[in-house]
Structure formats: C-alpha cells, structure tokens
Chain A
C-alpha cells in the first residue's frame, strides 16, 4: 500500500526517477529481508571463533598470564599490542576510503562510504577491547579515569580511541537516517523489534528540505572531523612506541609512517569487503569493476607512500648502522627474523606497489588476492615492529630462561587475536543483515550529477 503511495509522490522529480530508485532499493534491501543457508553458517562460524576468544580470555584471566601467554619481562607486549595496531590501522577506513574521497570529490566513493564506515566502527571497537585484554589488571580499568595522568600517551590513546569510536558511530548512523526511513517504510515482513529499531533510529525522518539541509551539513562536518581524528588516533598509537627511548621505535617519523601504512591497509581491507559484498549480495551494479580499478590505483599510490616511509625507517638507520640500531636491524635484515621480514616487505610493500600497476590485475578477483596478501603481510608487519623491537633492548638479554629471550605467541593469545578479527567480520556481517550496506541516498544523490535538487523519497 505505502509503496504505491510513495511512487505517486515522488514522480515529480525528473532527474532521478522513482522507478530507478525503487529498483536500486530492492537490490540493496534484499540482503536484509532474508539470510541464506551459507549466510547463517558464516555467522555461526564467526560467532564460534568469537566465543572461543571469550573462553580463551576467561582462561587467561583465571589461570594467569604466566601459564597462558608467551609474554615475559622483555617481550611484555606481545601479539595483543601488534594486533591492536593492526586493528587501529583498519579503523582508518572511514578516513581514507570515505572522508578523503568525499571531500576531494571522487564520486566513486558513494557506494563505498558506508562499508568503510562500518569497518571503521567494528575495528575501533575490537581495538578498544584489545587494549583491555593486554592489561595486567583489567579490574582497575576505571583508574584511568580516577587517577589518569594527562601526560601519559596511554591516556591520550584511551581518549582518542573513545572519541574516534563516538565519531564513527555518529558518522555511520547519521548518514543512515534516510536509509532507515526507507527500511521502515518498505520492509514489512520483518520481526517487530527490527521495525521498531528502524523507527527509532530514523529519528522521525520525513525527508523535508530542512531536514535534508541539516543532515547534509552535519554529515559534512563529521566527514571533515573524522580526518584529523583518525590521523590523531593513528599517530597516538604510534606515539605509544616513539615516546620511548628504544632506538628501533625512537623515530620522529613514526606517526606518519603508521598513518601511511594504515592508508594501504584500509585500501586492502576495502577491496576484500567490496569483493565479498558484491559477490554475496549480488551488488555488481553498484560495486563495479570501475571501483576495483580505482582502488587498485589507490593501492599503488598508498603503497608507494608506505614504501617511502619504510625506506626512511629502515634504510636510513641502516646506512649509519649505529650500535644502538645494529642489533635490531641486522636481526631483521640477515638475522633470525630475516625470512619473516623480507616476506613482509615483499607482500606488504612490493606487491601492492607493483602488481596493481597492471590494468589486468586490477580486476576484482586478482585485486582481491593481492589485497589479502597485503592485509596478512600488514598484520605481520606490526608484529615485526613490536616484538623484535622489544627483544632487542639496549642492554643485552642474558641469564634468562630460553622462553624469555624468544617470544612465541601461545594458543590462547592467537585464539583471542583470531576472535578480534572474527569479531570485526561478525559485526560487519551482522550490520549488513540489518542495515543497507550501500548508502541509497548518497548513490542517488550522485546521479543528480551536481544538480542542487533534493530527492524526496521515503
């Protein structure tokens, strides 16, 4: 009933016909209406991994970290912290794959922006959890508020993670308001609570000219805000390392180096996410080959920027080879971790710089393969920043049990890390099951091609 009424109302718009809109809307809302068998299996699979992580964390806290983790006095920050850095890197998707493109008028951002925003929100949530998991006394978390010292980078980190989380929620859900109105009006055979949720979250959206004006202005402000905030987030997490006196971390370059790495990883994670959504939700019409072509180009650009910072970080100290750096650098270049390091350089830097330069490789499937390699290498890159950095302190490690000199993450640690990754995928999947994963109005707005009209759809 309401459908017909809406069509009648909106036919007066010439530039973007209601018919087109309805077709698109049906495509985008289909995943919300039904979940297939494989979808259910996928969600169950992710839930199981996530719950395994919860159990692992319970074991870690009840049995003690001495038994359950591979951490020691030298490598006291293990895979939790390197994983935290990786998750924070992913959480900048909103910055690099949405906000920056939006502000610089790369029109192809439109169907990508919500995917980027939801990856950001999920990653920052898991990153926050990661901090708590790595704490020795999670029961004293509130001390950060009652005793917090503003001079400590940890406190900056907590503040900026909380702020970025809030910004991500707002960016995502304010831009969702018109879409949720569509959901509310057009999805009928859904559970009552879900419709009620759409009703609440669409905040009485009527699509009046004034509401559109406020919404667009707010979204624009938040888009601008999220860029410095994201960069602050990434930089502060780099400062957790560069504010120390350890030579391998003591670099003025570190913040920018981390931001550049983050840009590359967000492109990689977006390629994978876009490929998955396009394939599974059959969104080829919106997430086109053109997007992969563009993202492949972005990957080359960010890859070279990252390579540039890597040269600064590793080759300049290596040229001087001061005794402070030699220990750590030689270990990476020719020592124990050399194979590991050069594989990461190959897949994490060389591959994204070179392979997507070929137009043939910027096709969805091949580019996704490249992105997977880049993402995995990216995870290990942070491992190589944190762990060898800790196991090569200024004073030599002597007279310690063998396990203290060489860190190996335990099964429990790896389970928890897997759970945080699964947690991100679970949050993104669940989100896409309840909310349209492509911003209907933003894509529709793009089709206006610069015309100032507001499409009044409901």
Chain B
C-alpha cells in the first residue's frame, strides 16, 4: 500500500514537471529538483492534486491568483469571479468524530472552546433515531447578519461567501443576535487565545492552513468556507479532515460537490437524496444543504463524554 502511494505521488510529480518545467514531490525528491531550477522561489506551498492527494510544490509553480497575495480590501469584498461556493452535508456519514472541529481550529489558529464548526446531537421526536448534525456558518443568500451590521463589517460576496472584515468590526454583536443558527463567535480576549495568537497567529505549518486569521480581540469571527483555499481549488480544512467524507464542498456553477474522494453532480445529489436546508421557513436561503440521515453507514452511537467543556 505504502509503495503504491509513493508511486502515484512520483507520477504526480512527473506530470507537474512536464507541465510547469519543475516540480517537487516529497521532500527528498524536491531537493534534487530545486537545484536544477534557478527560478524557484524556494517557498513551498501545499497543493491538493486532482486525485485528492496533498503534495508540496514550489510556490512558483502555482498559478498566480489574487488569493495568493494579500487581498486588497476591495478584492476581499468582491469575491472570486465566476464562483458560487456551496456545501452539502451527508448526515448519514457523520459519526461525531469531531475531526472537522479540530481541523478547523488548527487551520485558522484558534483554540477551543471556540468552534466555527460544531457537531450537535439532534433528535426530532422520541420515535426517530438521533443523528449527528454538523453546523457552521451557512453563508446564507439572504443573510440576516449582513442586514443588521452597522458598519458593513460583514458582507455578502459575489462568490456566495459571507465574509468578515475584522479591521472594520466594532464588536456590537448584533450579527450574533441576528443569526438564527448561532454560527458566529466573539473574541472576548481569552488570555490563552491571545497568547496563542501571539505565538502561532502567523503559523502556516498546518497542511490545511487557511490565510484568514482568527478575529482580533473584540470582533466577531465565524466560518469563512476557508476563502483563500476555496479560491485556489483546495478543499477547506473540515472537508479534508472528515474521516467519513460527510462534508461535500463545491461550486454551484460547476454543479459539483466533492469530499476529496467522491465527486457528485450537485443537483442530482440534492434531488436523489431529498436534501433540505436548516430552517428553510426563515427564508435565510442557506448555501449549506443537508442530506437526511438515511441509509446510514453505521448506527448512531451517543457520545460517551461531554466535549469542549474546558473553559
């Protein structure tokens, strides 16, 4: 098994080499190749290949994209052209392993008990079986939060993402009151978090690292669909980390969602699996769909311990 993986990543490396002239895959080979290349920047970036494998290549190989640079304020507000990010969550596959939660915390360099993505135990009635319900910012198309923001610090972008401008937020927390999904968190200035941000705030070592930092003290933070990763065609941390492939991320305009392993036509998936959106009746038009927990891969197992209880 090991061997095959190595093989395929070497092939990937060869293909990239053919396309771009230079490629690096795996640290040993990478070193050998960089010597031949005068143009490389020496800065490594991690990219996900077409077949879902993570490799490290020189940053000069990656197409130049605005998201690679520091976004100018206006660009952040515009969104990525020709994209409409969307998400489908397969409730039959969630087993409350909380890898998405931890992956997100690592990718954005923030600490528990703050969670951008949460997993809740839901049960509609006593006769029905309970199920695990991952929830995060739904990036609504009719977002109640952006309506109430007094200073335009949270806004809807053309690519469907509801983004935050931490430099603008005044911390009135009205968006948190307005969000019916309790998706937003506030940086109350927990000393551990402040210390962590000072030490690791600029840490990009996580393979799923997302350039959007954690909010400044006194401002509101939330899931941002890993904006810069999505722009580059890299799957967000929670999608990559989910061991069961329960979270499918994609572009509505391409009509495709993927968990990195399986790729589905979006509309067909929604139609075949009877997808729904949480609290459709509120008219918020979320961009996150749920596939009901039917035909589960495994029976529901209740959590044996309370999670995230540390203050």
- Residues on A lying within 8 angstroms of B by beta carbon are 64-67, 69, 71-74, 76-77, 134-137, 140-141, 143-144, 147-149, 151-155, 158, 240-241, 243-246, 390, 393-404
Contact = CB atoms under 8 A, between A and B. Distances in A.
A59 B209 CA distance: 35
Given A136-B169, A153-B148, 6 more contacts: A140-B171, A149-B152, A152-B149, A154-B150, A244-B178, A399-B119
A393 B171 CA distance: 20
A67 B184 CA distance: 20
A240 B148 CA distance: 9
B170 A141 contact: yes
B310 interface: yes
Contact of A147 (B115, B152, B173, B217): B152
Given A245-B282, A394-B180, A137 B309 contact: no
Given A71-B188, A400-B308, A394 B181 contact: yes
Given A67-B191, A246-B180, A398-B120, A155 B150 contact: yes
Contact of A395 (B151, B181, B308): B181
Contacts of B42: none
Contacts of A244: 144, 148, 177-178, 180
B306 interface: yes
16 contacts: A71-B188, A73-B186, A76-B177, A77-B173, A134-B173, A136-B170, A136-B172, A136-B217, A141-B170, A152-B147, A153-B174, A154-B150, A393-B182, A399-B306, A399-B307, A400-B308
B119 A395 contact: no
Most A Cβ at <10 Å: residue of B149, B150, B184, B220: B150
B195 to A, nearest CB: 12
B77 to A, nearest CB: 12
B219 interface: yes
B222 to A, nearest CB: 10
B71 interface: no
Contacts of A140: 151, 168-171
A152 B118 contact: no
B279 interface: yes
B174 A154 contact: yes
Contacts of B282: 245
B190 interface: yes
B176 interface: yes
A401 to B, nearest CB: 5
A393 B310 contact: no
Contact of A245 (B118, B150, B178, B217): B178
B150 A65 contact: no
Given A135-B172, A147-B152, A147-B168, A401 B135 contact: no
Contact of B184 (A73, A245, A395, A403): A73
Contacts of B171: 135-137, 140
Contact of A144 (B114, B150, B173): B150
Contacts of A144: 150-151, 170
Contacts of A399: 115, 118-120, 306-309
B233 interface: no
A66 B215 CA distance: 14
Main secondary structure of the interface of B (DSSP, over half): loop
A147 B149 CA distance: 10
A76 B168 contact: no
A182 B165 CA distance: 56
- Report, nearest first, the 9 A-B pairs whose CB atoms are least far apart: A136-B171, A64-B189, A136-B218, A66-B188, A154-B150, A152-B150, A147-B151, A66-B190, A245-B180
B12 interface: no
B218 A137 contact: yes
Nearest to A402: B309
A399 B135 CA distance: 13
Nearest to B279: A394
Nearest to A403: B311
A57 to B, nearest CB: 14
B227 interface: no
Most A Cβ at <10 Å: residue of B177, B178, B180: B177
B116 to A, nearest CB: 11
Contacts of B120: 395-396, 398-399
B307 A73 contact: no
Contacts of B190: 64, 66-67
Contacts of B180: 244-246, 393-394
Given A64-B194, A245-B282, A399-B308, A135 B170 contact: yes
Contacts of B184: 73
A243 B191 contact: no
A110 to B, nearest CB: 41
A137 B120 CA distance: 31
Nearest to A150: B150
B118 to A, nearest CB: 7
Interface string B183-199: 01111111101100000
A135 B121 CA distance: 33
B259 interface: no
B258 interface: no
Contacts of A136: 169-173, 186-187, 217-220
